[in-house]
Amino acid sequence: MKDDVSFLIEAAKKAAGNAYAPYSNYHVGAALLLNDGGIVTGANFENASYGMTLCAETIAIAKASSDGQMDKIIAIAVAGGPAGKIAMGDAVTPCGRCRQIIKEVADVTKRDIPVHCVHANGHHTYKLSELLPNAFGPSNLA
């Protein structure tokens, strides 16, 4: 039987197949593991006004939040690559904006969320605190 991480990575790869990325042709999928075993996925969503693009991670997290499930998120997997060649090169790591979005999840869940970044030969797992050290977050506003 596949373990949770392998299952989550497969879900991220599959989600990348739903990317709407006609401008970059770079397809990204993200999958969130919930503490009840559920999985929420997202894929990047581009726009002719390029800067309006939404990343896969942000979409997945917004989906979970809008379904009232943000506090259940315990891990994230991200996979991507040129269309039809998911994870054939370097690991996809979340962009700066997505790291800040994940920071919100880390604070709400009180977990240093593991982010499994898929690359050609497997995956590398980072903690959010490694990807975004000394982050600004909800506690700064208190």
Please identify, using beta-carbon distances, which residue of 33 and 77 lies nearer to ligand THU.
77
Instruction: Provide DSSP, 78-96.
Output: EEEEETT-TTSSSPP---H
Question: x/- contact string, 30-49, with ligand THU (CB under 6 A)?
Answer: --------------x-x---
Please identify, using beta-carbon distances, which residue of 79 and 139 lies nearer to ligand THU.
79
Structure tokens of 94? 């979340």
Q: Is 84 exposed, middle or buried (0-12, 13-18, 19+ CB in 10 A)?
A: exposed
Q: Judge whether 46 counts as a catalytic residue.
A: no
Please identify, using beta-carbon distances, which residue of 22 and 35 lies nearer to ligand THU.
22
CA distance 87 to 78: 10
Q: Give the residues lining the site for ligand THU (CB under 6 A).
A: 21, 24, 26, 28, 44, 46, 53, 55-57, 78, 92, 94-95, 98
